[in-house]
């Protein structure tokens, strides 16, 4: 289900509520449940609500949705997103998580207008399923995170980061999605380059960061990869960590470095910096 292209006309009651709430509580942010991504709303609001449930392929292609959205008017609350189509996911596959990661990268690079986002249901009791997928599955004594849960950890720990421009120069760019941010973890500052390789081919890239004011500290740099042997692999109670991020050192970390993206993967390069200025990343 997608609300893209849906046109909803409000009733006069909306303005009555809006004006009354705004007059009594001017600090409250009012969210419209009408989609304003493709055309302007016909009513005032601080944010509008956007839902999207698609196949993995379709959600991957929606990664640029908010690059084409007007920068004026209400901001965006993506209150529900997930891959939710039979055949793409049973209880949450790697493929689904990669499509969702590409979509989230699209939200991240458009965070001037996308102010909030939340996944489809967070928890599900495996004995009382009414929806697939969910991020965390439990029963009376076990629990595990789906690949989509692990995917979101790539974004959560660097929340509040500074976005930098990215240019992708690859014959496989149609199957890639990337972002570059700087973020601080205690006293350490990192340039984090996140890249989704949604395709079945390994991709070799030259990562080149321009605008660094200091060198990259290779000893404190790292790379984290979320992948598996099969794009439809899922986690389960029997194998709760079948699909999980794997973090390792990055001794080759530098302002310009070679990188290889394995098929069907989400990779985060964390380059430790001493200082940073206006950065850009070429790939």
Tell whether 3 is covered by a domain. no
Tell whether 1 is covered by a domain. no
Instruction: List the one residue out of 235, 227, 181 whose CA is nearest residue 203.
Output: 227
pLDDT of residue 30: 94
**138 shares its domain with 272:** no
pLDDT of residue 263: 98
| pLDDT at 112 > cutoff 90 | yes
Contact 267, 245 (CB under 8 A): no
| pLDDT at 9 > cutoff 80 | no
Q: What's the CATH number where 71 sits?
A: 3.20.20.80
The three-class DSSP label of residue 256 is strand
pLDDT of residue 279: 55
Question: CA-to-CA distance for 160 and 163, rounded, in angstroms?
Answer: 9
Q: What's the average model confidence in pLDDT over 122-134? A: 90
E strand segments, the chain: 31-32, 47-54, 75-83, 114-117, 123-125, 136-138, 143-145, 162-164, 166-167, 176-185, 188-197, 203-210, 216-226, 245-249, 256-261, 265-273, 280-282
**140 shares its domain with 29:** yes
Domain final residue, candidates 118, 133, 156: 156
DSSP annotation of 175: G
Domain that residue 277 falls in: 162-282
Tell whether 273 is covered by a domain. yes
Question: pLDDT above 70 covers what percent of the chain?
Answer: 90
Write down the pTM of the prediction: 0.90
Q: What's the average model confidence in pLDDT over 120-143? A: 92
Q: What's the average model confidence in pLDDT over 83-95? A: 77
Contact 75, 113 (CB under 8 A): yes
Q: What's the average model confidence in pLDDT over 79-93? A: 79
Instruction: List the one residue out of 272, 276, 278, 237 whose CA is nearest residue 143.
Output: 237
Domain final residue, candidates 112, 135, 156: 156
The three-class DSSP label of residue 168 is coil
Which tens digit of pLDDT belongs to each residue from 211-270? 776 689 999 999 999 999 999 999 999 999 999 999 999 999 999 999 999 999 999 999
Domain final residue, candidates 156, 180, 198: 156
The average confidence (pLDDT) of the chain is 89
Tell whether 245 is covered by a domain. yes
Q: Which residue has the tokens 């990215």?
A: 166
Instruction: List the one residue out of 212, 184, 144, 210 whose CA is nearest residue 270.
Output: 184
| pLDDT band, residue 77 (cuts 50/70/90) | very high
**171 shares its domain with 148:** no
Instruction: List the one residue out of 117, 104, 119, 116 whose CA is nearest residue 64.
Output: 104
pLDDT of residue 70: 87
């Amino acid at each position: 289900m997608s609300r893209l292209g849906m046109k909803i006309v409000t009733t006069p009651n909306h303005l009555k509520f809006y004006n009354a709430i705004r007059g009594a509580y001017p600090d409250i942010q009012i969210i419209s449940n009408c989609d304003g991504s493709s055309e302007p709303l016909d009513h005032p609001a601080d944010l509008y609500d956007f839902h999207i449930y698609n196949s993995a392929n379709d959600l991957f292609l929606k990664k640029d949705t908010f690059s084409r959205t007007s920068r004026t008017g209400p901001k965006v609350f993506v209150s529900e997103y997930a891959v939710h189509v039979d055949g793409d996911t049973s209880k949450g596959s790697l493929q689904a998580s990669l499509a969702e990661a590409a979509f989230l990268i699209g939200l991240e690079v458009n965070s001037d207008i996308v102010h909030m986002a939340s996944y489809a249901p967070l928890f599900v009791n495996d004995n009382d399923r009414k929806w697939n997928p969910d991020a965390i599955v439990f029963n009376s004594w076990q629990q595990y995170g789906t690949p989509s849960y692990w995917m979101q950890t790539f974004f959560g720990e660097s929340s509040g980061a500074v976005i930098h421009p990215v240019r992708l120069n690859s014959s496989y760019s149609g199957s890639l999605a990337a972002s570059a941010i700087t973020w601080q973890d205690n006293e350490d500052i990192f340039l984090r380059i996140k890249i989704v390789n949604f395709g079945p081919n390994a991709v070799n890239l030259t990562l080149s960061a321009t605008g660094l004011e200091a060198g990259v500290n290779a000893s404190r740099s790292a790379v984290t990869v979320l992948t598996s042997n099969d794009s439809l692999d899922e986690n389960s109670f029997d194998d709760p960590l079948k699909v999980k991020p794997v973090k390792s050192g990055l001794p080759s970390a530098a302002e310009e470095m070679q990188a290889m993206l394995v098929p069907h993967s989400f990779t985060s390069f964390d380059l430790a910096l001493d200082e940073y200025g206006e950065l850009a990343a070429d790939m």
